[in-house]
């Protein structure tokens, strides 16, 4: 038997001012988008902003539904909108942020497994990494260089045939 460690580099910023100008803009756009989330059931609003290689920023926020599983997370609203509006344009980065009516979210909001899987498909298609920036409402910002970092052993289209 062999054992292998899988690790990745996480950059931790204490405050937004430590980020580059474009990263600050991406994060504040995600914060603005968060406010328009429709989250009457969870009271947990998530905002996402996607930076494309053509310089455009596309936003998303969580859209809930009385039939709970019919709702969609902010990250998928954002990347699907980017794919719909700018097909073939690579995604460079995504910023994700969350707030709650019930408590102060002071730790970085991590994307759910379904969103990681959805985002990684764009990364695999475009063959360039998508960096991820995470923040709560306050507190530190986590950044990693690639979605693959936070979804090791990911499923991909390569499993669907043997070619």
73 binds ligand THU (CB under 6 A): yes
Q: Which of 128, 120, 109, 127 is nearest to 148 (CA)?
A: 120
Dihedral in degrees, nearest 10, Cα atoms 146, 114, 81, 16: -50
Q: Which is nearer to ligand THU, 22 or 112 (CB)?
A: 112
**By rule CB under 6 A, what string of x and - marks binding of each residue 108-137 to ligand THU?**
---xx--x----------------------
Among 26, 27, 30, 39, binds ligand THU (CB under 6 A): 39
Distance separating alpha carbons of residues 124 and 159, to the nearest angstrom? 13
* Binding-residue pattern over the window 75 to 114 for ligand THU, x denoting contact by CB under 6 A: x-----------------------------------xx--
Rounded Cα gap, residues 78 and 91, in angstroms? 11
Q: Which residues are catalytic?
A: 75
For residue 47, the 8-state DSSP code is E
By the rule CB under 6 A, 62 interacts with ligand THU:
yes
Total number of residues binding ligand THU (CB under 6 A)? Answer: 13
CA distances from 16 to 46, 72, 108, 159 (A): 18, 27, 13, 39
| Binding residues vs ligand THU (CB under 6 A) | 39, 42, 44, 46, 62, 64, 71, 73-75, 111-112, 115
């Amino acid at each position: 038997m062999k054992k292998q460690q899988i690790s990745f580099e996480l950059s931790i910023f204490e405050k937004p001012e430590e980020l580059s100008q474009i990263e600050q803009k991406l994060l504040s756009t995600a914060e603005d988008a968060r406010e328009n989330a429709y989250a009457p059931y969870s009271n947990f609003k998530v905002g996402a902003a996607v930076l494309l290689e053509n310089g455009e920023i596309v936003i998303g926020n969580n859209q809930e539904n009385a039939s709970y599983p019919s709702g969609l997370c902010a990250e998928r609203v954002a990347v699907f909108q980017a794919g719909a509006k700018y097909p073939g344009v690579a995604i460079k980065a995504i910023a994700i942020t969350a707030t709650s009516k019930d408590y102060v979210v002071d730790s970085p909001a991590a994307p759910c497994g379904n969103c990681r899987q959805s985002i990684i498909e764009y990364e695999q298609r475009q063959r360039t990494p998508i960096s991820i920036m995470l923040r709560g409402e306050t507190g530190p910002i986590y950044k990693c260089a690639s979605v693959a970092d936070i979804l090791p052993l990911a499923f991909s289209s390569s499993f669907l045939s043997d070619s």
